[in-house]
Amino acid sequence: MRSRRVWVLGTIVLIATSACTPGGRGAGTAAPTSSSASVVVTETAVGPPALSSVEPPAPAVEQFPPFSSTVAPVTAERLGASYRVGCPVAPEALRLVGLTYVGFDGTAAQGELVVAADVVDDVVAVFAQLYRQRFPIRSMVTVEAFGADDDASMAVDNTSAFNCRPVTGGSGWSLHSYGVAIDVDPRENPYVAGNTVLPPEGRDHLDRGNVVPGMILAGDPVVTVFAAHGFAWGGYWTDPVDYQHFEA
């Protein structure tokens, strides 16, 4: 930026002197008249305005707490209606696992699954990865909260694991009875057998090309991380197809 200059004209002092002697005999020659002007100039430079030292605010950064997990023994009393006499595993072979997950509202939440003690480390590792991927989970509550009713659990899009019950559409024990199967976001990932869709709300998501949050697709990061820890995906089955289901 070009500096502006202010010129201040100093005081100009004009000094004039004259001398004059009256004429007459013996009078000297009149002294010459002389004059001089003295000019004082002062210069003041004005520089560019100082720049502000205030930094602009930093952009907002998405904040999530670190993933955390807890593992604890579980009793028949704690399992409630999800456990009954004759179940293929004892409560001592199961663990209650607390896990951090990202909800559909984009915030972190804490949930619980009951799984077999043998798969605890893999389950924790899987859900740690899902959390880092920000894969959304709507609910993660153990199924005794629904009276161990799988349909009621699926209806609210609940992710769950252990439930001592027969296999859907059959009479033998489901792998959920052993604590080695997990159903994830059942509404977005329904069980489909012919015209049967469970939960019924899952009909809105039979078109797997119409991808929505929480939907699990062949070869996606969810399927990949489960497979890396020994879980097969029911979405690869042909009849039935169980998009929500993973089993070890």
Asked if 221 and 135 count as a contact pair (C-beta separation under 8 A), the reply is yes
Asked whether residue 10 is assigned to any structural domain, the reply reads no
**Within a domain: 19:** no
By C-alpha distance, which of 144, 136, 141, 145 is closest to 158? 141
Give the closest residue to 155 by CA, choosing from 113, 193, 183, 116: 183
Parallel, antiparallel, or unpaired for β 245-247 and 241-242? unpaired
What pLDDT, on a 0 to 100 scale, did the predictor assign at position 169? Answer: 78
- pTM beyond 0.85: no
Average pLDDT over residues 77-93: 97
Tens of pLDDT, residue by residue over 21-35, are: 444 433 344 444 444
Give percent above pLDDT 90 in the chain.
Answer: 72
Q: What is the mean pLDDT of the chain?
A: 84
Q: Report the share of the chain in percent with pLDDT over 70.
A: 75
> Per-residue pLDDT averaged across 129-147, rounded?
99
Q: Is residue 159 part of a domain?
A: yes
Work out the average pLDDT over 161-189.
95
Structural domain includes residue 237: yes
Residues in the chain: 248
Over residues 50-83, the pLDDT tens digits come to 554 566 665 555 689 999 999 999 999 999 999 9
Looking at the structure of the chain, the number of domains it has is 1
pLDDT digits (tens, 9 = 90+) for 1-16: 434 333 332 333 333 3
Cα–chain center distance at 109: 12
* Residue 199 within any structural domain of the chain: yes
Whether residue 86 lies inside any domain: the answer is: yes
Please report whether residue 41 resides in a domain.
no
Q: Name the nearest CA neighbour of 182 among 118, 233, 129.
A: 233
Look at residue 128 and tell me if it is in a domain.
yes
Q: What's the pLDDT band for 226 if we cut at 50, 70, 90?
A: very high
CA angle 150, 156, 159 (to 5 degrees): 65
Q: What is the DSSP string of 15-62?
A: EEE------STTPPPPPPPEEEEEEEEEEEEE-PPPPP-PPPPPPP--
- In DSSP terms, which residues pair with 135 in a beta bridge? none
Instruction: Check: CB of residue 198 under 8 Å from CB of residue 151.
Output: yes
Query: Which range of residues forms the domain containing residue 195?
Result: 69-247
